Amino acid sequence: MQTYSYFNENISHNISCNEYSLNSIDYNTLKNIQFKEDFEKRYQLSYKIEYELDLHKFELIITLGQGSFGRVLLVVFEQNKIEYALKVLDKSKIVKYNQIKHVQNEIRILNAIRHPNIIIMHSLFKDNSYIYVLMEYVRGGDLFSYINKLKVFQEHITLFFAAQIVLVFEYLHFFNIIYRDLKPENILVDHHGYLKLADFGFAKQIQQRTYTLCGTPDYFSPEILQSKGHGKPTDWWTLGARMPI
103 and 164, same domain (yes or no): no
Rounded CA separation 88/178 (Å): 24
What is the DSSP secondary structure assignment for residue 228, as one 8-state letter?
S
**Dist CA 93 CA 140 (whole Å):** 29
Looking at residue 214, its pLDDT comes to: 74
Pairwise CA distance, residues 193 & 156, whole Å:
13
Phi and psi dihedrals of 189, rounded to 5?
Answer: -120, 120
* Percentage of the residues of the chain whose pLDDT score is greater than 90: 49
Q: Read off the CATH number of the domain in which 127 is found.
A: 3.30.200.20
Same domain, 65 and 130: yes
Q: Which range has the worst mean pLDDT, 48-62, 115-129, 172-186, 220-234?
A: 48-62
DSSP state for residue 78 in the 8-state scheme? T
- Catalytic residue (one of 181, 190, 199, 235): 181
Task: Report whether 134 contacts 121 (CB < 8 A).
Answer: yes
> Which of 130-134, 154-158, 183-187, 220-224 bottoms out in mean pLDDT, i.e. has the lowest?
220-224
| Residue 244, pLDDT score | 60
Mean pLDDT over 74-92 rounds to: 95
Which residue among 136, 168, 200 closes a domain?
136
Residues 217 and 220: their CA atoms lie apart, in Å, by: 5
Domains of the chain: total: 2
- 181 noted as active-site residue: yes
- Which of 107, 136, 165 lies at the terminal end of a domain, its last residue? 136
CATH classification at residue 147: 1.10.510.10
Is 93 marked within a binding site?
no
| Share in percent of the chain as helix, strand, coil (round to 5) | 45, 20, 35
Average pLDDT over residues 201-215: 83
Q: Do 196 and 237 lie in a common domain?
A: yes
Average pLDDT of the residues of the chain: 83
Q: Which domain holds residue 191?
A: 4-26+140-242
101 and 155 assigned to the same domain:
no
Reported as a pLDDT band with limits 50, 70 and 90, residue 87 is very high
Asked if 91 contacts 131 with a C-beta cutoff of 8 angstroms, the reply is: yes
Give the Cα separation of 236 and 222 in Å (integer). Answer: 12
- Residue-wise pLDDT tens digits, 160-181: 999 999 999 999 999 999 999 9
pLDDT reading at 207 higher than 60: yes
pLDDT tens-digit map of 12-43: 545 444 444 445 555 566 554 567 888 888 88
Q: Indicate if 172 and 126 belong to the same structural domain.
A: no
- For the chain, the C-alpha Rg in angstroms (whole number) is 18
**pLDDT for res 28:** 61
Closest C-alpha to 196, from 137, 155, 109: 137
| Alpha carbon distance 10, 150 (integer Å) | 15
Dist. CA 129–CA 58, nearest whole Å = 18
Residue 69 pLDDT class (50, 70, 90 cuts): confident
